[in-house]
Amino acid sequence: MYTTAANATSLFQYIDDQRSNSQFISDMQSLTTNTNSKDVDSIQNSLVNVQSIDDMVDQIISGESSVTGDKVNDMLDFYFKQVKNELKSITDDLNLANIPPLQNTEDKWHFASDNSDDKSLTNFLNYLNRDTRLSERMEKVVMLSELSERVSARDYAQQLKNEDIADPQIEAYLVSISQQLQDNRYLSVEKGALKLGNYGLASEEYQSRFSK
């Protein structure tokens, strides 16, 4: 059930929450229509940690899994829309157009830099860490984005290998992407738009290093 920053509960918020749950179930059914439910489970289970993500990437690239990069992106789009809509409702209530980078450590969200002087941001953060469902979806969208970027990076690496680019250059690219993904594991809201810190890094680094 939704609660306000002041811990109050309203019937209208409760109704909105039920509608949100109903919409989530409906959207999830649409997702599993396009993506085999077994693949959805495989992707979900791979998001536990970096090692399990890497294992899934290996299986996708090698073709050992029926999961594909497109299916990962479908799930990413699905959760991104869910999180975007829920965060918009909360930030609108708190009159917040911008949320600075948020990171998750030991199942708790915190700001990457100190914003304790901003009461609205503090209220937002307190609310977020009470809403387990939304918190879990936010963590999932960040990890899905990382999985997607790692698949893209490996695809780029294979493309570079086919173009006879030297192995040390390819390895340097992959190492750089891995580090950037660790450093940018956050999300934020800028002018009302949800942003993922790790989204698009594989392409950006590829263009920076190898575009002619």
DSSP-H helix ranges across the chain: 11-34, 37-46, 50-62, 69-93, 119-130, 132-162, 167-183, 201-210
pLDDT of amino acid 19: 44
Q: Which tokens in the block code for residue 22?
A: 């109903």
Average pLDDT over the chain reads 83
Q: What is the pLDDT of residues 163-179, one digit of tens each?
A: 999 999 999 999 999 99
Higher pLDDT, 60 or 33: 60
By mean pLDDT, which of 21-30, 82-91, 198-207 is the weakest? 21-30
Give the pLDDT band (50/70/90) at residue 114.
confident
So what's the pLDDT on residue 112?
92
